């Protein structure tokens, strides 16, 4: 299982794009430790932005403990991920990736989540912010049997 991206990760890329690629790779591999190691101690994950079933107050998941709990609540419950990045815009210490995350869920279902996924890194390349812009209702409307 690999990450389906439209840029060549073997060529020189901006640090935020590299961090985003490493994040997707760790998620695809189901490697929580590798994923957590990509984040600064004071990082924030907002996935999705605002109140959701994953973050009722909409304030994000803060620090290593909060981000670890986010993994356990969301990523750990998915059987397989496929990332399709259709475009990527790097500027300064951030990158905005436009694409679809396909999640394969227990019971043989899959969901496609279209969105914009923004990563900001600090000077050492660690992620300080990951913000995902996607709509829950729109994603849930794509739920179907995995073989469809």
pLDDT tens digits along 104-138: 999 999 999 999 999 999 999 999 999 999 999 99
How many other C-beta atoms lie within 10 A of the C-beta of residue 56?
Answer: 8
85 forms beta bridges with 99
pLDDT(12) > 90 = no
CA distance 12 to 61: 31
CA distance 148 to 145: 6
Q: Mean pLDDT, to the nearest integer, of 16-31?
A: 96
CA distance 74 to 76: 6
Confidence of residue 1 (pLDDT cuts 50, 70, 90): very low
CA distance 26 to 23: 5
Question: Sign of dihedral through CA atoms 64, 46, 132, 119?
Answer: negative
Chain segment 47-93, per-residue pLDDT in tens: 999 999 999 999 999 999 999 999 999 999 999 999 999 999 999 99
CA distance 35 to 29: 10
Helical ranges in the chain per DSSP H: 15-29, 32-36, 63-73, 136-140
Tell me the residue length of the chain.
Answer: 148
């Amino acid at each position: 299982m690999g990450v389906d991206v439209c840029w060549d990760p073997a060529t020189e890329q901006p640090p935020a794009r590299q961090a985003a690629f490493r994040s997707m790779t760790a998620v695809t591999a189901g490697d929580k430790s590798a994923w957590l190691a990509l984040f600064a101690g004071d990082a924030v994950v907002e996935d999705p932005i605002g109140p959701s079933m994953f973050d009722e107050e909409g304030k994000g998941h803060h620090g290593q403990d909060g981000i670890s709990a986010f993994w356990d609540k969301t990523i750990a419950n998915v059987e397989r991920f496929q990332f399709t990045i259709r475009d990527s815009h790097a500027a300064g210490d951030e990158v905005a990736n436009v694409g679809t995350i396909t999640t394969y869920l227990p019971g043989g279902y899959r969901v496609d989540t279209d969105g914009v996924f923004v990563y900001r890194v600090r000077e050492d390349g660690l992620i300080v912010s990951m913000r995902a812009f996607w709509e829950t209702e729109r994603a849930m409307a794509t739920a179907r049997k995995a073989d469809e």
